[in-house]
Amino acid sequence: MARPVAVAAGVVIGGRDVVLMAGPCSVESYEQTHAVAAAVAGVGGRVLRGGAFKPRTSPYSFQGLGREGLEILRAVADEFGLLVISEVLGVEHLPLVAEYADILQIGSRNMQHYPLLWAVGELDRPVLLKRGFMSTIDEWLKAADHILSRGNEQIILCERGIRTFETATRNALDVNAIALARQIAPYPVVADPSHATGRADLVLPAARAAVAAGADGLLVEFHPDPAAALSDGEQALPLSALPRFYDEVGRVAQALGRGLG
C-alpha cells in the first residue's frame, strides 16, 4: 500500500483524493503563468506545474527562464494559494529549485541520473520521479530506491508514457505500469497524460484512463494560447478546457470513491 506523501497546506498525494497538478510546460512570462494559475485555482486544483529549467531535445529550442521562471511560479502560486512543482535538471540547480518548489520533479531523461537522485535523496522534500521513456518498471523502482537510500522517503512515481513502435502518438501511456506500481511499490503513482500522448485531443481520455487505473494524481499541461507556446504546444490544453477536464476526471475518481482536489 502506498505511503502517502504530505506536501504542504494539507495537500496529500496518495491519500483519498486524486491531486491535480496543472500548468504550462514552461514558465514563459508572468502573464502566461498568472492566467494558468487563476484557471487552475478556479476549478479547485491545488498544485501549479511549470518548468524553469527545460530538458529540450535541441539546444536551440527555448531552454526555460531559469531563476526568473521560478520567481514567477512562486509568486503566482502564492497569490492563488497553490503549491509548486518544477523540474530539477541538474545537481547544480538543486539549491535554487529547492528554494522555490514544494515538489521537485526529476524528468524522464534524468531517471537514471544517479548523482541527482542521491542529491534529492538528501533533502526533506517531496520528489516526483518520472519514468524514463525507455525504462522498465523495475528500473524505475530501482531509481526510486536510489532516492530512498539517502533517506528521503517522500517519493511520488510518475508514469509519463514510454516509447514504442507507434508513431501516431508521442509516447504510449503505460496504464499497466500505473496499476502495477501501485501494487508493488510503497509510493503514490501519478500520471502525466500530456507527455504520454503528445496530442491535446488525447489528454482527457488518457487522464480518465489513468485515474481509472488508480493514479493518485495527474500532471497536466495547460496554456492560455497553445499555438503560441514555447514548448509542447501540441499537447497543451487551452484554459477553456479546464472545467470539463476537472468535471470528467472528477467523475471517474468519484466512481472509485475518491475526489479530485
Residues that bind ligand PEP (CB under 6 A): 25, 51, 55, 107-109, 130, 160, 192, 195
For the chain, strand residue ranges (E) read: 5-8, 11-13, 19-23, 47-49, 83-87, 103-106, 127-130, 155-159, 189-191, 217-223, 237-238
In the list ligand PEP, Mn ion, none, the entry touching 55 (Cβ below 5 to 8 angstroms by class) is: ligand PEP
In the list ligand PEP, Mn ion, none, the entry touching 93 (Cβ below 5 to 8 angstroms by class) is: none
In the list Mn ion, ligand PEP, none, the entry touching 56 (Cβ below 5 to 8 angstroms by class) is: none
Q: Does 192 bind Mn ion (CB under 5 A)?
A: no
Name the residue among 143, 82, 159 with its Cα closest to residue 110.
143
Q: Residue 164 has which C-alpha cell? A: 514504442
For residues 22 and 59, the answer to whether their CB atoms sit within 8 Å is: no
| Span near Mn ion by CB under 5 A; candidates 2-10, 15-23, 203-211, 224-232 | 224-232
Instruction: Tell the smallest beta-carbon distance from residue 53 to Mn ion (Å).
Output: 12
Instruction: Tell the smallest beta-carbon distance from residue 37 to Mn ion (Å).
Output: 17
Q: Does 25 bind Mn ion (CB under 5 A)?
A: yes
Instruction: Tell the smallest beta-carbon distance from residue 53 to ligand PEP (Å).
Output: 10
Instruction: Tell the smallest beta-carbon distance from residue 195 to ligand PEP (Å).
Output: 4
| Span near Mn ion by CB under 5 A; candidates 33-41, 85-93, 211-219, 229-237 | 229-237
Rounded Cα distance between 220 and 21, Å, is: 6
* Residue 52 vs residues 79, 88, 147, 220: alpha-carbon distances, Å: 19, 9, 22, 16
Taking CB atoms, the residue at the shortest distance from ligand PEP is 107
In the list ligand PEP, Mn ion, none, the entry touching 223 (Cβ below 5 to 8 angstroms by class) is: none
Q: Does 232 bind Mn ion (CB under 5 A)?
A: yes
Rounded Cα distance between 71 and 95, Å, is: 14
Rounded Cα distance between 255 and 234, Å, is: 30
Name the residue among 173, 168, 106 with its Cα closest to residue 143.
106
Longest dimension (CA), the chain: 46
In the list Mn ion, ligand PEP, none, the entry touching 160 (Cβ below 5 to 8 angstroms by class) is: ligand PEP
Instruction: Tell the smallest beta-carbon distance from residue 110 to Mn ion (Å).
Output: 14
Residues binding Mn ion (CB under 5 A): 25, 232
